Amino acid sequence: MTTRRKFLTSAGAAGAATLAAPAVHAQSTITWRLQTYAGPALAEHVIKPSIDNFNRIAGDQMQIELFFADQLVPTGELFRAMQKGTIDAVQSDDDSMASPTEVTVFGGYFPFASRYSLDVPVLFNQYGLNEIWDAEYSKVGVKHISAGAWDPCHFATKDPINSLADLQGKRVFTFPTAGRFMAQFGVVPVTLPWEDIEVAVQTGELDGIAWSGITEDYTVGWADVTNYFLTNNISGAWAGSFFANMDRWNELPENLQTLLRVCMDQSHYYRQWWYWGGEAALRVNGDKMQLTTIPDAEWQTVEDAAHVFWDEIAAESEVKAQVVEIFKQYNADMVKAGRPYRYG
């Protein structure tokens, strides 16, 4: 597998013009490079099955080369690399890849925007987020193909968290917006390459991780270096998407565009049940992490602060205000709908 260093060295030797060139068509086969936010162990679930299916079905017409977190470019540079055509497609959240759009802040874990993973596809497909994302990314030469849900956001820590006071001073690897929000409760957000997180916890550079639910903690090895899992979550589901360079997307024949959408929808479906079942099973049967909980009355302070945070974000632009209004309307509808949509 091509390493990032080897890729950048060879690309540099070829010159900037080559870097910006379209994907090479060898023997009439369209070849794309797609980089995911996920490391190898996690990618086995969140993207590799769908890409394998696509390649199997597309055959000689098209093949997608899959690269893992930071393998070709750092995650924070994914958007720019895709926009320039250095890579053809990306699986990430808007926040992590630092996309220069009005909706970037809502990618990943926007505090308490969702309670369950099914909230995310409903917000995109029935409450208008798809149209907003499509418009915002079209402005910057990127195709927003499809959004879906991942796992909820929980703290995995070396020391137990039983109250908000226990979060004070904790150095935590998390997403930009989640870190910005939790900083008011004493959390110190830390940004590191994904593959360095496990070692950083072992060496004491990090006190914990707020990047996933318990399924990922076990899958990627973080449950081996943390001792406690906080059952309260910052958000009910990570919102992420598949993106492509607009020119590369437009060059594809309609059947391949359709096949990509179908395989990405299959990926979204796989994650719905894999995470939903995994989160419950590992809380009940997992033997690596002890569960802790901040009492509901105290945690309500965090939920209340999230709605203040929403209003602060809404004040930044008309588009952000539009998205926040959709979140408010959606959550109000879910409360009115009652069980099983919302409890209490």
CATH homologous superfamily for the domain 153-236+286-337: Bacterial extracellular solute-binding protein, family 7 (3.40.190.170)
pLDDT at 2: 43
pLDDT at 343: 78
For the chain, what percentages of helix, strand and coil (3-state, to nearest 5) are there? 50, 20, 30
User: 193, 96 in Cβ contact below 8 A?
Assistant: no
User: How close are the terminal C-alpha atoms of the chain, in Å?
Assistant: 50
Whether the pLDDT of residue 12 is over 80: the answer is no
pLDDT band per the 50, 70, 90 thresholds, residue 282: very high
User: 188, 170 in Cβ contact below 8 A?
Assistant: yes
pLDDT at 22: 53
pLDDT at 29: 97
pLDDT band per the 50, 70, 90 thresholds, residue 296: very high
Do domains 4-148+238-278 and 153-236+286-337 share one topology? The answer is yes
Whether the pLDDT of residue 17 is over 80: the answer is no
pLDDT at 23: 53
As a whole number of angstroms, the longest Cα–Cα distance in the chain is: 63
Say which amino acid occupies 1.
M
pLDDT at 1: 41
pLDDT at 255: 98
pLDDT tens for residues 213-241? 999 999 999 999 999 999 999 999 999 99
The arrangement of strands across the sheet holding 188-190 comes to 188-190, 171-174, 208-212, 153-157, 228-235, 290-292
Q: Return all residues near 28 (Cβ < 8 A) that are at least 6 apart.
A: 60
pLDDT at 257: 98
Whether the pLDDT of residue 4 is over 80: the answer is no
User: 155, 209 in Cβ contact below 8 A?
Assistant: yes
The encoded tokens of residue 147 equal 């959004």
Give the domain ranges of the chain. 4-148+238-278, 153-236+286-337
Q: What is the mean pLDDT of the chain?
A: 93
Per CATH, which fold does 4-148+238-278 belong to? D-Maltodextrin-Binding Protein; domain 2 (3.40.190)
The stretch 271-288 carries a mean pLDDT of: 97
